[in-house]
């Protein structure tokens, strides 16, 4: 929780971070489209006094990595030029390969398996709006995906119980669930899988949704929309949870699919504070990884 603690301090007093990474250069590699990740990292790096290099791994004007240069060689070369790598891509293997063969910190800004930077912002948001994270109940409603995986792993570390409410045909990754349950047992928290949204959200402090059709799944859209229709977060589901529940969404939202306008814009929604917190959490992470603050 050190990242969350520092992020809260930076949010309260941005001068604590200003210029703290002056002279550093940070490569940002994007294989996937991005709004919040690209802007929050680039703005944050600027506020830290460092240089951001936004790179594409696609063809045309993209990096040579997009034309067949190996991850091994890319990692070796980038490590000679820059101080950290931020990568938003598809396969987890690209992130792991950069970390294995490079000599600078590598930040996973999203893969198909995990979305850890989002998870850090989420913990900060829960801390702000729920009076801390310990003893809280977080309920994921939708399909098992990279954000669900991140929350399953982050929850026990933050002292939260996590319920992953998904259709039986769209479960989270079994390896991730097994790991999360081991972590929960050690932390004295719980991990639960459910397929009943109304029962799952009872007493929840946080109800969390994501778009039902992710990038690369457009051809499956019709099937996914039908499967997930009973999992829409609407006024009735929020009422089943109670007034204490806060609604969260990693964005972009497909309004009136996974969440109704009335919930998204309602008094229990904290989605835009959550989006802002990407900036603060990522600044804290960069400061810690690059030695501007200690981990203790």
Tell whether 295 is covered by a domain: no
| Pair 188, 255 in one domain | yes
- Choice among 38, 149, 249, 278 that is catalytic: 278
Residue 296 belongs to some domain of the structure: no
- Averaged pLDDT, 254-263: 98
pLDDT tens-digit readout, 56-105? 876 545 677 756 799 999 999 999 999 999 999 999 999 999 999 999 99
Q: Let me know whether 48 and 128 are in one domain.
A: no
Residue numbers of the domain that contains 228: 118-265
Q: Is residue 196 part of a domain?
A: yes
For 132, counting Cβ atoms within 10 Å of its Cβ (0-12 exposed, 13-18 middle, 19+ buried), the class is middle
Task: Give 175-212 pLDDT, tens digit per residue.
Answer: 999 999 999 999 999 999 999 999 999 999 999 999 99
Q: Quick check: is 82 in a domain?
A: yes
Catalytic residue among 38, 83, 94, 118: 118
Rg of the Cα atoms in the chain: 19
Residue of 287, 293, 295 whose CA lies nearest to 105: 287
Check: CB of residue 240 under 8 Å from CB of residue 211: no
Round to whole Å and give the CA distance between 288 and 99: 17
Q: Is 165 a catalytic residue?
A: no
Are 159 and 183 in contact, with CB atoms under 8 Å apart?
no
Q: How high does pLDDT run on average in the chain?
A: 95
Number of domains observed in the structure of the chain = 2
| 37 annotated binding-site participant | yes
| Catalytic status, residue 115 | yes
Is 270 contained in some domain? no
CA-based diameter of the chain, in Å?
Answer: 55
Q: Give SS3 for 233.
A: strand
């Amino acid at each position: 929780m050190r990242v969350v603690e520092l992020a809260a301090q930076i949010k309260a007093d941005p001068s604590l971070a200003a210029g703290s990474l002056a002279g550093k250069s940070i490569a940002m590699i994007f294989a996937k489209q991005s709004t919040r990740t690209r802007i929050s990292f680039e703005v944050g790096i600027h506020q830290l006094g460092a240089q951001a290099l936004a790179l594409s791994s696609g063809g045309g004007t993209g990096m040579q990595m997009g034309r067949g240069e190996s991850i091994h060689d890319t990692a070796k070369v980038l490590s000679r030029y820059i101080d950290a790598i931020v990568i938003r891509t598809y396969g987890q293997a690209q992130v792991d390969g950069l970390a294995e063969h490079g000599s600078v910190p590598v930040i996973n800004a999203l893969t198909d398996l995990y979305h850890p930077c989002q998870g850090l912002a989420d913990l900060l948001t829960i801390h702000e709006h729920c009076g801390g994270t310990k003893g809280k109940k977080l309920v994921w409603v939708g399909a098992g995906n990279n954000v669900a995986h991140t929350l399953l792993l982050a929850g026990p570390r933050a002292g939260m119980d996590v319920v992953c409410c998904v259709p039986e045909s769209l479960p989270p990754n079994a390896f991730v669930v097994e790991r999360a349950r081991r972590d929960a047992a050690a932390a004295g928290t719980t991990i639960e899988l459910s397929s009943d949204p109304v029962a799952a959200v009872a007493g929840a402090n946080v109800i969390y949704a994501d778009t039902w059709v992710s990038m690369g799944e457009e051809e499956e859209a019709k099937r996914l929309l039908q499967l997930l229709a009973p999992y829409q977060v609407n006024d009735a589901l929020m009422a089943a949870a109670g007034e204490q529940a806060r609604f969260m969404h990693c964005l972009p939202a497909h309004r009136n699919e996974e969440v109704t306008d009335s919930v998204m814009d309602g008094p229990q929604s904290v989605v835009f504070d959550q989006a802002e917190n990407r900036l603060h959490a990522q600044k804290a992470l960069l400061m810690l990884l690059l030695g501007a603050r200690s981990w203790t």
